[in-house]
Amino acid sequence: MSTQVQNEVLKVLEERHSVKQYQTGHQIPKADLDAILTGASLAPSSWNLQHWKLLVIDDQAQKEKLLPIAYGQKQIVESSVVIAVLGDLEANKNADAVFGPAVEAGFIPQSVKDSLVAQIEGAYQYPQVARDEAIRNGSLAAMQLMLAAKSLGYDTCPMGGYDAGKFVEAFNVPSRYVPVMLISLGLAATPARSAGRFSLDQVVVSNTF
């Protein structure tokens, strides 16, 4: 990676801050939204099972329905889009779709695919593993989505303050998926500010405690 590209990535990381006040009525062009969603879909995932489903809520009536579920947080109705990041509790079912084409293309032998599928199925016998993987990998996609949005000049805010049970009911979320977070997306009405961060010597430990 060139220094210039690296610097551009670091600049996006430095400039991304959570925004709660948005320019109301702004519509994100479909090409931009698709690029942001594509960026999220490129996130890494365990076994490449891609444990996420992205529910895009851009209809104003649907956002109004979501508002009380999110405890009246105004960014729900003022932002251009709210994206619900859902984690897949049954991502093991994606294994054939992930590894089948690799076998057909000659990238991996059938025996390797069979070994991977057996490994995955063994892990997914445990509900806690399925839940942990759904949330862990869904969170990776969420972070990548927010960085992709910032790189295109949009702002976001990850939101954990909502009633997940009511959300599932109101938006007909299948039992296969667990809500990970909501993300508001749009153009900031006022510039975001840094909330401050701990210094490296406060958060980094070398080798062992």
173 belongs to a structural domain:
yes
Amino acid letter, 109: P
120 belongs to a structural domain:
no
- Specify the residue for token string 């199925």: 121
pLDDT in tens, 66-101: 999 999 999 999 999 999 999 999 999 999 999 999
What are all long-range contacts of 203-208, with beta carbons under 8 Å and residues at least 24 apart?
A: none
Could you tell me the strand order of the sheet in which 52-57 lies? 52-57, 81-88, 177-186, 155-159
> Which pLDDT band, with edges at 50, 70 and 90, does 5 fall under?
low
Question: What is the phi/psi pair of residue 133, to 5°?
Answer: -65, -40
124 belongs to a structural domain:
no
Global pTM reads: 0.94
pLDDT in tens, 36-46: 999 999 999 99
- Specify the residue for token string 């390797």: 112
Rounded Cα gap, residues 120 and 125, in angstroms:
9
Rounded Cα gap, residues 35 and 84, in angstroms:
17
110 belongs to a structural domain:
no
The number of beta carbons lying within 10 Å of the beta carbon of residue 155 is 26
- Work out how many domains the chain is built from and give that number: 1
Closest CA to 47 of 137, 125, 131: 137
Closest CA to 14 of 165, 177, 162, 196: 196
pLDDT in tens, 158-191: 999 999 999 999 999 999 999 999 999 999 998 8
1 belongs to a structural domain:
no
4 belongs to a structural domain:
no
Count CA atoms within 13 Å of residue 196 on its CB side: 1
CATH number at residue 31: 3.40.109.10
Domain that holds residue 30: 17-88+137-191
Instruction: Report the pLDDT value the prediction gives residue 196, as an integer from 0 to 100.
Output: 87
